[in-house]
Amino acid sequence: MTDPLVVFTPSGKRGRVPAGTSVLDAARRLGVDLDSVCGGRGICSKCQVAPGEGAFPKHGVTVAPDALSEFNAVERRYDEKRGLKPGRRLGCQACIQGDVVIDVPPESQVHKQVVRKAASDRAITLDPATRLHFVTVEEPDMDAPSGDLERLRAALKAQWDLDGLSVPLPVLQGLQPALRKGGWEVTVAVNHDTGSIAAIWPGLRTAAPLGLAVDLGSTTIAAHLCDLGTGAVLASGGIMNPQIRFGEDLMSRVSYAMMNANGATEMTAAVRTALGALAAELAAEAGIAPADIVETVIVCNPVMHHLLIGVDPVELGQAPFALATSDALPLEASDLGLDALAPGARAYLLPCIAGHVGADAAAVALSEAPDQADEMTLIVDVGTNAEILLGNRDGLLACSSPTGPAFEGAQISSGQRAAPGAIERVEIDPVTKTPRFRVIGSDIWSDDPAFDAEVTGICGSGIIEAVAEMRLAGLLDAGGLIGSAEQTGTERCIAEGRTHSYLLWEDGDRRILVTQGDVRAIQLAKSALYAGARLLMDEAGVDSVDRVTLAGAFGAHISPKHAMVLGMIPDADLTKVGSAGNAAGHGARMALCDRGLRTRIEGLVRRIQKVETAVAPRFQEHFVAANAIPHATAPFPHLGP
Ligand code: FES
């Protein structure tokens, strides 16, 4: 008699197995992704499957009513105590007796696509590095003396075929209480990437382990606490990077490290403390213990990266901008001072691309996948240092460009960070030259009688729109010079010494002006950004790009039209210019949930061609030409006549 045929859906994997084989064993033999924490003891329910009934012409199978064995005692006990959904079976208990089609529902798959909540969400595949394994460990015996750890190792080998796992000291310190509390049954969290044990819990633990995806920025630290069983984000939050007190931007922090004997150490301590506090805050919000977090993935720029790992960033402040290491870093979380996480929790830092293009840019590349696109794609992560990627499936280039802090509202006369009260949207009537604006925290435009928001300053996106609108309204010329009241026909252009400023808002003696100095600061910043992009286009041998993606929190708020009117970005079809939101944070989450992506980004970063703007003569030429608005020579056909 031929062995029964089993077809698994949705994978379509099929094969014959001897009658009496459990569904879980059949799945393993055929390479089907079916979860199990308890190793087939019938207690974790992770192996649930839905056997089909009747005819399946597509698979050439007709399933007889007795294709699977009846409920055995273990499955019946589970059903009575915990209740199986109708039509569901425990794969580790149900045995195959005849031809059968078996569906593996998403919750029983280890590797699965996380369902998108909104169309704008990008899918994440689940293949976490850390998996749970329930084991029964032999009790100690006077006649056969061996350590608890040795018997745990033997149990992991016998029950899960796991050998040679490393056990960090803090995990070992908790082993004996866990074994005794669990009655010699424990659940072991194993990091399969590093071959190490992250945590041991007494008894059976079916709740999935948790992970923390961190985007460590120079201004803010943002993190997502993720369920590694479902990919769901349980809590998200951010805090200011406390290193700000040592310097607003990256270079001032490098200077602080250079000029103070313990400067780098102080900044390392500050950021580690903040990271630990953020992890604790998110754990509290999600109602879990920080010790349930078994892994963290961190992305950051090179200076943040070095300060986090305790390396003095002084070399990053001077040519040739050598990194201590550009490789991905698998570390113990405790190496970074994250002692409250699981005792053997791991930290993974994505690789850096170059001295000024960090792991955050690598995370953006992972999230946006320009290396898998046919279109020539330009990705700009706007900050005090713009990180720029250009390319498609034929190759990818990267550089950074020193835009300075103007895009963050610094060096602007009424500039401020993006916070409630900051002007973020500006329109200027081209005929009357009258402005209207919106501030962060209010949906109402300033010319609406209902507008009553407090106005505190202007943020980066606001100043970009203001300068672009001034150009469109004829208030400033292509060289960036603000006209006089006579030249522009509006009293809002006010003489200030030998230059002019445009009055955006006033209330009593409080005024927000766009000064000539503000326009110059924006011109310098946008010229640097454009020149960086243009340099990469030269290297790639292209005159135009098919798609422009603005990444980062700031990029999410820039209006594509105004960015192009200013000449911040090269000309492109405006419908192909968009924002990727916090792409670096998303990339960190992807690498946290899918360990295969770590290998992918490590390989991709090695293949990215790095271009150093500081030593490229063409950069200066592009910078000078880009000072005009939008540009001295480059055409911008998509802006229209
Ligand atoms: Fe745990 Fe089946 S593998 S219940």
Mean per-residue pLDDT, 54-67: 91
Residue 443 lies in a domain: yes
Closest CA to 419 of 273, 245, 240: 240
pLDDT digits (tens, 9 = 90+) for 376-434: 999 998 877 789 999 999 999 999 888 877 887 778 999 987 888 999 999 999 999 99
Regarding whether 223 and 323 lie in a shared domain, the answer is yes
Residue type, 269: A
Residue-level pLDDT at 613: 86
Task: State both tokens at 489.
Answer: 């026909």
Among 202, 228, 248, the domain-final residue is 202
Mean per-residue pLDDT, 298-313: 95
Regarding whether 198 and 99 lie in a shared domain, the answer is no
**CATH code for position 197:** 3.10.20.880
Cβ contact 240:304 at 8 Å = no
Regarding whether 152 and 50 lie in a shared domain, the answer is no
Residue 591 lies in a domain: no
The sign one gets for the Cα dihedral 171, 176, 177, 180 is positive
Query: How far is it, in rounded angstroms, from Cα 537 to Cα 346?
Result: 39
**CATH code for position 37:** 3.10.20.30
Mean per-residue pLDDT, 227-233: 91
Task: State both tokens at 226.
Answer: 């993720």
| Residues 6+ away with beta carbon under 8 Å from 443 | none
Regarding whether 349 and 231 lie in a shared domain, the answer is yes
Regarding whether 422 and 324 lie in a shared domain, the answer is no
Residue 32 lies in a domain: yes
**Is the N-terminal amide bond of 290 cis, ω within 30° of 0?**
no
Bridge partners (DSSP) of residue 223 are 214, 237
Cβ contact 486:434 at 8 Å = no
Mean per-residue pLDDT, 342-351: 97
Q: Which residue has the tokens 């790992």?
A: 309
Mean per-residue pLDDT, 37-55: 91
Residue-level pLDDT at 120: 42
Task: State both tokens at 409.
Answer: 């509202």
Tell me, what's the ipTM? 0.99
- What residue numbers bound the domain in which 33 lies? 5-109
Residue 10 lies in a domain: yes
pLDDT digits (tens, 9 = 90+) for 266-293: 999 999 999 999 999 999 999 999 999 9
Distance 296 CA to ligand 1 centre (A): 28
Distance 423 CA to ligand 1 centre (A): 57
Regarding whether 84 and 196 lie in a shared domain, the answer is no
Bridge partners (DSSP) of residue 594 are 127
Mean per-residue pLDDT, 325-345: 96
Residue 430 lies in a domain: yes
Regarding whether 218 and 162 lie in a shared domain, the answer is no
Distance 104 CA to ligand 1 centre (A): 13
User: From residue 8, how far is each of 49, 311, 389 by CA, in Å?
Assistant: 10, 51, 42
Query: How far is it, in rounded angstroms, from Cα 198 to Cα 209?
Result: 10
Regarding whether 247 and 226 lie in a shared domain, the answer is yes
Biggest CA-to-CA distance, the chain = 103
Residue 533: HSE in the Cβ half-sphere, 13 Å Cα cutoff: 29
Ligand 1 site, residue 49, Cβ cutoff 6 A: no
**CATH code for position 250:** 3.30.420.480
What is the reported pTM?
A: 0.84
Distance 30 CA to ligand 1 centre (A): 18
Show the 3-state SS of 109-123.
CCCEECCCCCCCCCC
Residue 624 lies in a domain: no
Regarding whether 340 and 221 lie in a shared domain, the answer is yes
Ligand 1 site, residue 38, Cβ cutoff 6 A: yes
Residue 193 lies in a domain: yes
Cβ contact 279:340 at 8 Å = yes
Based on C-alpha coordinates, what's the Rg of the chain? 29
Regarding whether 322 and 247 lie in a shared domain, the answer is yes
Regarding whether 232 and 177 lie in a shared domain, the answer is no
Cβ contact 311:300 at 8 Å = no
Residue 115 lies in a domain: no
Among 202, 218, 243, the domain-final residue is 202
Closest CA to 458 of 470, 472, 474: 470
395-405: b (≥16 Cβ within 10 Å) or e: ebbbbbbbbbb
Ligand 1 site, residue 22, Cβ cutoff 6 A: no
The sign one gets for the Cα dihedral 52, 55, 56, 60 is positive
Regarding whether 221 and 338 lie in a shared domain, the answer is yes
Query: How far is it, in rounded angstroms, from Cα 57 to Cα 31?
Result: 23
Q: How many domains does the chain have?
A: 4
Helix and strand numbers (H, E) in the chain are 17, 30
Distance 45 CA to ligand 1 centre (A): 5
Mean per-residue pLDDT, 182-197: 97
Residue from 22, 33, 36 whose mutation best tests the ligand 1 pocket (most atoms within 8 A of CB): 36
Residue 142 has pLDDT above 90, yes or no: no
Among 492, 514, 536, the domain-final residue is 514
